[in-house]
């Protein structure tokens, strides 16, 4: 799939820090993507409540922290608020899926459940872009930040492939099923191998962290569970390697 139809992204090598209540308010209103937001515990005042209203409006999560943590982040006058601006622009999967179908292409989408290592995120994105994956979905909480290290590891792929950050992976997965996509969980909790599903159909491949795996709620609603055959003494692969194995099985089928 060509990504030329998506809006061109600004290439920023480093996450930008914005501090001060008014500055953060203006950043949100101007459409900046907030990667994370630190708020001093007990903060109040009229301007703060204006910010709080904006956070609710844009569904931006914040983290309550002691002032000492904010002071460690910056020595400047932060006024109890520090925001980290994402180096990429996030998409909504509800907007991406119709665009794929309109182009006459068969969707291949990747959900990353609880992957917290930025280098794994970057390596997966690089493989996904090479495999022609249409979009990557990550959770708003419990996932690695997409920062300069992730972008570097991805060899710039995170600027080229749409990334969707969703509040609920479960609801997102249900939306994708309702849109006609099958869910394939790559997990050891099955006897079926990755060669069993028919990836020529519209497909979502779900990958989990190496320690926790895929959440049970996603496994329960999935259409297929599939595992990578293992023959050595080491019981698992790195998640970025596993992602490459299953993605290119999907590509093999689609090109076969």
From the number of C-beta atoms within 10 Å of its C-beta (0-12, 13-18, 19+), residue 45 rates as exposed
pTM above 0.95, yes or no: no
Express each pLDDT in 170-227 by its tens digit: 999 999 999 999 999 999 999 999 999 999 999 999 999 888 899 999 999 999 999 9
Nearest-angstrom CA–CA distance, 153 and 115: 15
Closest listed residue to residue 89, CA positions, set 13, 167, 11:
11
Express each pLDDT in 40-70 by its tens digit: 999 988 899 999 999 999 888 888 999 999 9
**What pLDDT score was predicted for residue 119?**
94
List the end-to-end C-alpha distance of the chain, in Å, as a whole number.
18
More confident residue, 95 or 12: 95
- The Cα-based distances of 63 to 42, 81, 180 in angstroms read 12, 10, 36
Question: Which residues have C-beta within 8 Å of that of residue 216, sequence separation ≥ 6?
Answer: none
**What pLDDT score was predicted for residue 96?**
97
- The Cα-based distances of 12 to 25, 51, 180 in angstroms read 21, 25, 35
**What pLDDT score was predicted for residue 6?**
52
- The Cα-based distances of 14 to 11, 38, 50, 160, 247 in angstroms read 9, 18, 28, 17, 29
Handedness of CA 171, 117, 95, 16 (dihedral sign): positive
Report whether pLDDT(13) > 50.
Answer: no
Could you give all domains of the chain from N- to C-terminal order, each with its CATH number? 16-85 (3.30.1330.30), 93-255 (3.40.1280.10)
**What pLDDT score was predicted for residue 38?**
93
Mean pLDDT of the chain: 90
Express each pLDDT in 83-119 by its tens digit: 988 889 899 999 999 999 999 999 999 999 999 999 9
């Amino acid at each position: 799939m060509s990504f030329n139809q998506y809006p061109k992204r600004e290439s920023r090598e480093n996450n930008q820090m914005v501090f001060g209540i008014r500055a953060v308010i203006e950043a949100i209103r101007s459409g900046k993507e907030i990667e994370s937001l630190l708020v001093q515990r007990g903060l109040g005042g009229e301007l703060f409540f204006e910010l709080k209203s904006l956070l609710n409006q844009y569904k931006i999560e914040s983290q309550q922290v002691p002032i000492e943590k904010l002071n460690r982040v910056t020595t400047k006058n932060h006024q109890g608020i520090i925001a980290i601006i994402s180096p990429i622009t996030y998409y909504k999967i509800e907007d991406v899926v119709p665009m794929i179908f309109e182009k006459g292409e068969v969707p291949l989408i990747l959900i990353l459940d609880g992957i917290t290592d930025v280098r794994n995120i970057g390596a997966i994105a690089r493989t996904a872009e090479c495999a022609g994956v249409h979009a990557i979905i990550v959770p708003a909480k419990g996932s690695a930040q997409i920062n300069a290290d992730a972008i570097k590891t991805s060899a710039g792929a995170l600027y080229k492939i749409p990334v969707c950050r969703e509040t609920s992976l479960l609801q997102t997965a249900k939306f994708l099923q309702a849109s006609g996509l099958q869910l394939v969980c790559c997990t050891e909790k099955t006897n079926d191998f990755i060669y069993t599903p028919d990836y020529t159909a519209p497909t979502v491949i779900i990958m989990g962290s190496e320690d926790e795996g895929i959440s049970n709620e996603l496994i329960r609603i999935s259409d297929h569970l599939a595992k990578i055959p293992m023959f050595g003494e080491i019981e698992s692969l790195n998640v970025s390697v596993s992602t490459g194995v299953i993605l290119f099985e999907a590509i093999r089928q689609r090109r076969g």
